Amino acid sequence: MKNTVIALVMLFLGCNTLPVGYDQLQRIPADSSLTLGPDTLASYAKYIPLGAADIMSLGQDSAYESRIIINFTLADSSLDSVKSAKLILHPADSTPMSFVCRPCSVAWNSNAVSWKMADSVTHWLNPGGDYWHIDLGSGTFEGESLVIDLNLDYLDTLVRNSHGIILFPSDTGFVAVHSRYSQTTAPRICLTYPDDVKKICNAVEDAHLVDTNNIHLNPQYLEVGSGVAFRTYLRFPLDSVPEEATIARAEISFLPHVEYRRNDTLSLGVHRLFEPFSRYARFEDEPCAHLNYIISPDADSVATLDIRKLVQFWTANPPDSNFGLLLTAYPEWSEMFRIKIPRAGPNALKLKLLYIMPPEDRIQ
């Protein structure tokens, strides 16, 4: 009864003051979400070195051709006493594939060799590799390994006047072949001398050389692909995101159209640029985001890549950190594929953001 009387007295006296400090509390801001399109975008195609491949491709079809080039350290002494020379290769799948071996006539470097270039400065006279017009041997991949008898009449040419061997496909289709990076199935040559003395010469360099009959880009689309590298450049305007914001979610999404593939899983990577975009701009080797896009037999599915950490880096380090990104195949030596992405419309690339602002001081 006493408390009721006190409350009535305070009401009649007009006391409506809140507890001390209550009116000075600040609410935590609500989450902010954005959907952004790129303000700059471009695609380009480039013949790239594929000497880092764990698995090399050999074959051809109506869209692509891939040759394999391998170099060995072969001693140039005692050639007259060699009784046999065998090239030993190991396929990584069971695809039948026939091919011809010819000696390469120009020096090359596995860190720079491509369909167009022998090294970083030397162009092939004939794209796909220069060679002497003699057949060292031929074979067909059919099992777990393949042994090819090399023609001893041309052994001197191979050892003293050549720079390895180029494999030319004879059939339609593609076979995967283990490269020098395999400890047990790397390419090698076995030389046999009198009394069955054998010498094993392991591959010291190898690569596959990939060409496509359609390197031209459709201006209505952005493109991403492997073998011959198709790369897409994107830059998103992030000026409206405060530096102090915490990025809770940042996802690039798009609906690709698969133009060519040899596998049901297409591997994509996002790479941060270190400088303003050009075909020669430096970018990080390892992707900051990666996606294995699985082809659905029923319907096309949206591809989504999480770039939250990259966007957080950009927004926390303005204004010169956001040079954009490259969307590529990853790794670019993987089985050939090529996808197209609309430049505009509902299936085009977009960046969906969710960010949170830190709370202000609660007591002013």
Structural domain contains residue 45: no
Q: What is the pLDDT tens value at each position of the chain, 364 positions in all?
A: 445 544 444 444 444 554 444 444 444 455 799 999 999 999 999 999 999 999 999 999 999 999 999 999 997 768 889 999 999 999 999 899 999 999 999 999 999 999 999 999 999 999 999 999 999 999 999 888 999 999 999 999 999 999 999 999 999 999 999 999 999 999 999 999 999 999 999 999 999 999 999 888 999 999 999 999 999 999 999 999 999 999 999 999 999 999 999 999 999 999 999 999 999 999 999 999 999 999 887 767 999 999 999 999 999 997 789 999 999 999 999 999 999 999 999 999 999 999 999 887 654 4
String of b and e for 165-196 (b: at least 16 CB within 10 Å)? Answer: bbbbbebeebbbbbbbeeeebbbbbebeeeee
CA–CA separation, 14 and 5 (whole Å): 14
204: domain range? 55-212
Indicate whether 233 and 293 sit together in one domain. Answer: yes
* Phi/psi of residue 61, nearest 5 degrees: -150, -165
Compute the CA torsion angle 120, 122, 124, 127 (nearest 10 deg).
40
Domain boundary among 196, 212, 228: 212
Whether residues 189 and 228 fall in one domain: no
Domains held by the chain: number: 2
* 63/157 same-domain check: yes
CB 333 within 8 A of CB 52: yes
Burial class (CB in 10 A: 0-12, 13-18, 19+), 44: middle
Q: Are residues 186 and 255 in the same domain?
A: no
Q: Does 23 map to a domain?
A: no
* Domain co-membership, 233 together with 335: yes
Q: What is the pLDDT of residue 29?
A: 52
Does residue 49 form part of some domain? no
Are 317 and 230 contained in the same domain?
A: yes
For residues 224 and 272, membership in a common domain is answered with yes
Most distant pair of Cα atoms in the chain: their distance = 122
Looking at residue 361, its pLDDT comes to: 60
Q: Return the pLDDT at 18.
A: 47
Residues 71 and 208 in one domain: yes
Say what the pLDDT of residue 42 is. 97
Look up residue 256 and give its DSSP letter.
-
Give the CATH number for residue 327: 2.60.120
Give a yes or no: residue 74 inside a domain.
Answer: yes
